[in-house]
Chain A
Amino acid sequence: MRKGVLELCILAIVAKQDAYASDIITKLKEARLIVVEGTLYPLLTRLKNDGLTVYRWEESKSGPPRKYHQITEPGLKALSELKDDWQELIISVDKILTSPSPPGAGFNPTL
C-alpha cells in the first residue's frame, strides 16, 4: 500500500523547508511511517537521481557538514501530481468504506 507514499511524504517535507536526514527521519517516525532509519537513505538517493531533489552542504556547529535536501522544479511538479493521486485515492476508498451495506448482509464489527 505504501508504494509511492513514502516518496510523497519526503517530497512534502522537503518542499516545506530544506531538511537534512535527521529532520526527515524525526517527522516520518512521528507519523509512524517508518521504523528503521535505513529505509530513508535509498529513497533520498532515488529522488535525487530522478532529479526531484538536490542537496547542498551546510556547515554545522556540532560536527561535520550536513547534507541539506532541497526540492527542485520537477520535484514540485511531481509532488503536486502525487498529492492529487493521493486525494483521489482517499475519495475512492472513502466511497467504498462509507457506502451503506444492503440490509441483512455482512456483520457488525464490535471490536
Chain B
Amino acid sequence: MKKTLTINLGGIVFHIDEDAYISLNQYLENLKNHFSREEGYRDILDDIESRIAEILNDKRSESKQVITREDVAAVIAMMGQPIEIEQEENPNSHQDASRTEKGDKRFFRNPDEKVIAGICSGIAAYFHLDPVWVRLIFLVFVAAGGSGIMLYIVLWFVIPEAQTASDRLEMRGKKINISNIEKTMREEVSELRTRVGSMAGESAASLKRAGKGSGFFFEMVRKSLLGVLAFTARAVLILTGIILIVAGLGLLLALFAYALGWTGGIYSDADYTALSFPALANLMVGCDMHVVFLQLILLMVLGIPFFMLFYNGLRMVFRFDRIRHLGLTMFNIWIVAIFFLAWSGLKIYNLYKSGDEKQIDIVLEKPAADTLNVILMADDPGLKYLRNEKYGFPGDLKMIITEKKELYVLPTIRIEESNDSLISITQTTTARGKTWSEAHQHLTALRFQSATSGSSLRISPFVRMPIQECWRGEMVTLVIRVPRGKFIHLDQGLRDLNPYWYHQLNPNDTSAFQMSKNETEVVPGQDSLKGKDDTSHAPIISKQAP
C-alpha cells in the first residue's frame, strides 16, 4: 500500500505516489535554481511542466492510473538534468567536471563502429588510432587474468555514448600518431639546421640589437633544446622499432620452427613433452584430425600478433604509410582462428573424454623379506632400441616409436610409505578414449609384463602398444608401498636403463635420492647400516606423483 497525492501539472490532474512526487518536486526545484538567472525563467519552467504533463499523460491508461517513481525517473531522463541541458545548450562551458575534457576533445563511446559498446572504438577515435589496436590491447588484458573485462564494464559506465553530431565531432580531435609526431620533429630539426647555418650572420646582427641580446640568447637555447629533444625522440622511436622488428621476426621464426617441426628429429628429444609440434599432434590426435589444420591454427593464432609487431616495427623505422585495412583484416582472420582453436580444443577434449582403468595387486611369494628386489627383464625386445643412437640416450628417454609401428613408453614407478608392515605392489593401467568402450579397447591392446619370484619383482622396461591408433594416454603406474625399516633394491640393469627413475622415485627429497644411490651397498640384513639410523634409511619418500 502506498500513499498517493493529487497534483495539478500543466493543467492536468494526476494521481502520484508520494515517493514519485518527492523526486519530481526535487527535479523541478533543481530546474528552477538552474534557470533562475535566465530572463523569463517562469515561461521556461511552465513549458517544461506542460511537457512533463504530456509525457506522463501518455503513460497513463485504464489499468494504470497512478504515476510511479519509475515513470518520473523516465521523464527526468528524457528531459535531462540541469547539467546535461547546460552541456547540450552550450558545449563550450566547462562547468561539468564529471566529463573528461581535453581541449575540444572528449572521450565518447562510438556507436557507429562498435563490437560491444564502442569503447575501444571511442578510445581509438580519441587518439586517432585504428580501433583494432585498442581492441587487441583489451584482449590481452582479458587474456591476462580477465582484468580487461572489469575495465571494459567500468568504462562502459563512465564514458558517455556519442549521441549527437557534435558529440561525434568532439570524439575526434587533432590526431596523435607516429607520422604526426615525426612531422613535428622533422620541422623542428630542419628549423634547428637553418638556425645553426645562419648563426654566424645572425650573431653579427644580434650585436646590433644588443638591447634584445638576452632575449635572442634564450630563444637560441630554447630552439637547440627542442632540436635535441626531437633527435632523442626520433632515436627512441627507431630503437623501439628495431626491438619490435627483431622480437617479431624472432618470435615468428621460433613459431614456424615449432609448428612445422624444423627442430631436428622427432625422437631425438625423447621426453614426449618436448616432441616437435607435428609429431606430438600426430601422435595424440593424428588419427582423428588433420595435423596440417592444427598447424595452420597455431600459425595464425600466434603468428598474426607476432607479424603485427614486426610490421609496426618496420613502420617506425622506415616511416612508410600504413597498408590499408591490413590491421582490420589481420584482426578478422585472427578472430576466425581463435574460433577454430576453441573448436579444435573441444574436439580434442572429446577424444580424451572417457577413461578406463585396471588395477591389480601384485602379491609377493615371500612377503616377509626385508628388501624388495626390482629386476629388469633383460630379454625385452624394446631394449635393443635403447642401444641405437638414433633413438637417443636412455638417460632422457621416455618414449620410442619403432619401425614396426609400436610405441614404447616407460612405466611410472612411485614409492610410498606403507601403512602396515608389509611391502605391497599395485599396478594401475589407464587409457582414455572417446567412449568407455574405446578406452577399454585401448587398455586391452597394451602390453606390460611384471612377475614375482621369491622376494623379487621382475618388470618389463617398457609399456608397449600398437600405434595403428593414436596414443590415448595409455600408461602403467606401479605403486610400491614400503614400511619404514624395509628396503627397495633396484638392479643394475634398471638403474642403467634410466637414471631418470631416481628422480621419479624421489623428485624432491635429495636425502632419499642419496640413499637410492647407495642402495647397491645395502645388503639385506646388514645390521651395521640399518641399525645406525633406521628412519634416515627408510626408502621414504615423496608423496607426490612425478
Which residues of A come within 8 Å of B, CB atoms?
Answer: 1-3, 6, 21-22, 25, 31-39, 41-46, 48-49, 62-67, 105-108, 110-111
Contacts and interface: CB of A to CB of B under 8 A. Distances in A.
Given A37-B79, A38-B84, A107-B177, A67 B31 contact: no
A107 B88 contact: no
Given A3-B92, A38-B85, A107-B321, 19 more contacts: A1-B169, A2-B91, A32-B165, A36-B78, A38-B84, A39-B85, A41-B48, A42-B44, A45-B38, A45-B39, A45-B40, A45-B44, A48-B40, A62-B57, A64-B12, A65-B11, A107-B175, A110-B324, A111-B124
Contacts of B131: 111
A42 B47 CA distance: 9
Contacts of B17: none
Given A3-B90, A32-B165, A22 B51 contact: yes
Contacts of A110: 130, 322, 324-325, 327-328
Contacts of B53: 63-64
Query: Which of B11, B12, B85 has the most chain A CB within a 10 Å cutoff?
Result: B85
A35 B92 contact: no
Nearest to B90: A3
Contacts of A67: 47, 50
A44 B57 contact: no
Given A1-B91, A36-B85, A41-B48, A111 B113 contact: yes
B47 A45 contact: yes
Contacts of B183: 105-106
Contacts of B10: 64
Interface of B: 10-12, 31, 35, 38-41, 43-44, 47-48, 50-51, 53-54, 57, 78-82, 84-85, 88-92, 113, 124-125, 130-131, 163-166, 169, 175, 177, 179-180, 183, 321-322, 324-325, 327-328
Contact of B84 (A32, A35, A105): A35
B39 A38 contact: no
- Where chain B touches its partner, the secondary structure class is helix
26 contacts: A1-B166, A2-B91, A6-B89, A21-B47, A22-B51, A32-B164, A35-B163, A38-B48, A39-B89, A41-B51, A42-B35, A42-B38, A43-B89, A45-B38, A45-B39, A46-B38, A48-B43, A49-B40, A63-B11, A63-B12, A64-B11, A107-B175, A107-B180, A107-B322, A110-B130, A110-B324
B36 to A, nearest CB: 12
A57 B51 CA distance: 15
Contact of A41 (B44, B165, B177, B180): B44
A43 B35 CA distance: 11
B393 to A, nearest CB: 55
Contacts of A45: 38-41, 43-44, 47
Contacts of B11: 63-65
A45 B37 CA distance: 13
Contacts of A39: 80, 85, 88-89
A2 to B, nearest CB: 5
B167 to A, nearest CB: 8
Contacts of A66: 50
Nearest to A35: B163
Contacts of B38: 42, 45-46
